[in-house]
Amino acid sequence: DSGVTQTPKHLITATGQRVTLRCSPRSGDLSVYWYQQSLDQGLQFLIQYYNGEERAKGNILERFSAQQFPDLHSELNLSSLELGDSALYFCASSVGSGSPGNTIYFGEGSWLTVV
């Protein structure tokens, strides 16, 4: 158990809909990261937040957005969903802002299926 908690574990929704994925980082961790894993793209970095502020942005679509709240939990919002958004979404956390020596720990993921 990494200490990173993600909900829901599984989610099925229709095209065009909007969903929110939630992540609680490990106790004491200030950074939250979101990754997407689909069959054809592998694990892709989406976005990082540090202590409530956006820190780095990867291959995140404009239809997707994220935020980190004062209690440090984070939410990833996916809107206007398409079939191709079906994937595993992982949240991860680390203690610092992204220092290369600080280990990043991953949650167990949220399975999103768009039908």
Partner 1 sequence: DAKTTQPPSMDCAEGRAANLPCNHSTISGNEYVYWYRQIHSQGPQYIIHGLKNNETNEMASLIITEDRKSSTLILPHATLRDTAVYYCIVRVYFRGANNLFFGTGTRLTVIP
Query: Could you list the residues that contact partner 1 (CB under 8 A)?
Result: 2, 4, 33, 35, 37, 42-45, 48, 50, 55-58, 88, 90, 92, 97-101, 103-109, 111
For the CB of residue 92, give the shortest distance to partner 1 in the complex, in Å: 8
What is the closest distance, in whole angstroms, from the C-beta atom of residue 88 to partner 1 in the complex?
A: 6
Q: How far is the CB of 16 from partner 1 (least distance, A)?
A: 26
Phi, psi of 83 (to 5 degrees): -55, -35
Cβ atoms 46, 74 nearer than 8 A:
no
Q: Measured from the CB atom, is 9 or 18 closer to partner 1?
A: 9
Residue 48 burial (C-beta neighbours within 10 Å; 0-12, 13-18, 19+): buried
Nearer to partner 1, 81 or 109 (CB): 109
Shortest gap between Cβ of 50 and partner 1 (angstroms)? Answer: 8
The pair of three-digit structure tokens given for residue 17, joined into one six-digit string: 């809909």
Q: Is 80 left (phi over 0), alpha (psi -120 to 50) or beta?
A: left
Closer by beta carbon to partner 1, 70 or else 100: 100
CA atoms within 13 A on the CB side of 49: 21
Smaller CB distance to partner 1: residue 79 or 108?
108
